[in-house]
Amino acid sequence: MRSAGVVGAALAAALAVLVAAGCGSANVRVAEGGGASASRGKTLFQERCASCHTLADANANGTIGPNLDESYAYPIEQGFSESSIRDLVRAQIEYAVEEPPTGEPGMPRNLVTGEDADSVALYVASVAGRPVVGGTDDGQEILAGDQLFTQQCAGCHTLAAARASGTVGPNLDEARPPLEEVVEVVTKGRGAMPPFGGRLSDEQIQNVAQFVAENTR
C-alpha cells in the first residue's frame, strides 16, 4: 500500500492539473445545484465505499484502498479549495484504476454515477482530512447484522438482501457461505479482504455473519 504522503502528493499534483485546465475539461465537475447533497453522499459512501476506505466522519476503517483522511490532508495543507478536491473525487470515481500495475486491489469504475457520484464527491470533499464534528458513533456496538453489512461490506460484495452490488469481493448470493466460514473470514480476512477482528466485536461479527448466512441459504 502506498504511503499517505506519496498519495497526498500525487493528489496535489492531479489537483494542480485540474485547476490549470479549469477543472472542467475532463467533464468530471460536480454539477451545481440539482439533487446532489453531502448527506446523501454520506449514506452512499457508507454503503459502497466504507469497507475499502478509511474516513473518520463515516466511521469507515477500510484498508483495501487509500486512507482518505490522510490522502486529502496534504492537498488541504497546500491550500487547494474544497471545490477542486470535490472535482478530483468525482474524477476518481468515474476513472478509477481497476487493475493497478502494482498488483494491489483496484477500484471498479462508476461505483456510483450521476447525482449519486456528485453526492459522494460533495461529501468526501467536505470531511476528508478535517476534524470530525461531534466525534465518532459510540452506538456502533448495537448495530444489527444488516446495518453492519451495509456499513462494512456492501462496497465490496453483492448480497440481494442488503441491496448490495459490490464487485471487489465474492458474490455472496452465489457463494452461499455457511455461518462458520463467514465468521472465520470476517474475523481473520482472506485474500484482499482485511481482517475485521480488530475493529468489530465478537458480537458484531456474529451478527453480520448470521445475516449473511441466513440470507444466502
Rounded to whole angstroms, the Cα distance separating 174 from 166 reads 13
Report pLDDT digits (tens) over 127-139: 888 766 444 343 3
Q: What is the pLDDT of residue 174?
A: 94
Report pLDDT digits (tens) over 137-162: 433 444 678 888 887 888 889 999 88
Whether 64 contacts 192, CB under 8 Å:
yes
Q: How buried is 113 (Cβ within 10 angstroms: 0-12 exposed, 13-18 middle, 19+ buried)?
A: exposed
Instruction: Give the global pTM.
Output: 0.58
Rounded to whole angstroms, the Cα distance separating 19 from 25 reads 10
Rounded to whole angstroms, the Cα distance separating 10 from 61 reads 22
Report pLDDT digits (tens) over 3-52: 455 555 555 555 554 444 444 434 456 665 567 888 889 999 988 898 88
Whether 72 contacts 128, CB under 8 Å:
yes
Rounded to whole angstroms, the Cα distance separating 43 from 39 reads 7
Q: What is the pLDDT of residue 11?
A: 57
Closest CA to 148 of 158, 140, 137: 140
Model confidence at 1, in pLDDT bands (50, 70, 90)?
Answer: very low
Report the chain's mean pLDDT, rounded to a whole number.
79
Rounded to whole angstroms, the Cα distance separating 148 from 151 reads 5
Report pLDDT digits (tens) over 202-213: 888 988 999 999
Whether 14 contacts 80, CB under 8 Å:
no
- Identify the structural domains of the chain with CATH numbers, from first to last: 4-127 (1.10.760.10), 138-214 (1.10.760.10)
**Overall average pLDDT of the 102-113 stretch:** 86
Rounded to whole angstroms, the Cα distance separating 177 from 213 reads 6
The one-letter amino acid code at 188 reads K
Q: What is the pLDDT of residue 21?
A: 42
pLDDT at residue 167 is higher than 60: yes
Whether 209 contacts 183, CB under 8 Å:
yes
The Cβ-side half-sphere exposure at 206, using a 13 Å CA radius, reads: 5
Closest CA to 65 of 106, 9, 111: 106
Q: Residue 171 contacts by C-beta under 8 Å, 6 or more apart in sequence? A: 157, 158
Q: What is the pLDDT of residue 134?
A: 43
